[in-house]
């Protein structure tokens, strides 16, 4: 029984520490590049069944249920089976809780692919063969992006444009003829 209780206590310390000092999830999701990587379901974080919290919740459930079963007279193989079942149940519950918390988080990421066809306003003049800047309101947020012209004439500040291509960090825009 002492072995099971020690396993449960050690795992509890790790799980408590992960909640107190950890972050939203255990797998890193930092990307620093200039193209979109929006693919797959709209999940705001990386939640895995092999997360530290899920694994140590399984271990904690295994240890606690094994200790209880051993205390009530079960031998070690039966207590271990009881612990495995309880660990799976608790780990599944923990995974569901983490997934619920993660899905409730706000996400301010705007995929650059969603900018295609959007209207914007020149904030820094765009000269022929030069890069300027445009401002775009999308998803209730105002963002600025580097932009270059598709046409041949320069566009002054305040001019309406339409995004015609998204390739890398610089958007390609053309004069928005529908705004005149």
Averaged pLDDT for residues 10-14: 91
The CATH fold assigned to 112-179 is OB fold (Dihydrolipoamide Acetyltransferase, E2P) (2.40.50)
Confidence class for position 37, pLDDT limits 50, 70, 90: very low
Residue 115 has pLDDT above 50, yes or no: yes
Residue 169 tokens, joined: 């960090």
Local structure of 31: helix, strand or coil? coil
Find the DSSP H helices in the chain.
Answer: 2-21, 52-71, 76-103
Neighbours of 4 (CB within 10 A): 23
Please state which of the ranges 100-104, 108-112, 136-140, 155-159 shows the lowest mean pLDDT: 108-112
Every domain of the chain with CATH number 2.40.50.140 lies at 112-179
User: In the predicted model, what is the mean pLDDT of residues 62-90?
Assistant: 95
């Amino acid at each position: 029984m002492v072995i099971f209780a020690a396993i449960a206590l050690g795992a509890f310390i790790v799980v408590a520490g992960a909640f107190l000092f950890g972050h939203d999830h255990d797998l890193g999701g930092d990307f620093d590049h200039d193209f979109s990587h929006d693919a797959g379901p709209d999940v705001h974080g990386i939640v895995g069944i092999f997360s530290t919290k899920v694994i140590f919740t399984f271990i904690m459930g295994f240890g606690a249920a094994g200790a209880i079963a051993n205390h009530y007279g079960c031998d070690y193989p039966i207590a271990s089976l009881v612990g495995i079942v309880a660990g799976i149940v608790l780990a599944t519950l923990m995974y569901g809780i983490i997934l619920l918390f993660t899905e409730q988080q706000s996400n301010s990421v705007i995929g650059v692919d969603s900018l295609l066809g959007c209207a914007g306003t020149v904030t820094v003049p765009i000269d022929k063969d030069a890069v300027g800047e445009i401002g775009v309101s999308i998803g209730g947020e105002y963002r600025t992006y580097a932009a270059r012209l598709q046409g041949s004439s320069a566009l002054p500040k305040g001019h309406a444009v339409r995004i015609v291509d998204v390739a890398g960090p610089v958007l390609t825009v053309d004069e928005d003829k529908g705004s005149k």
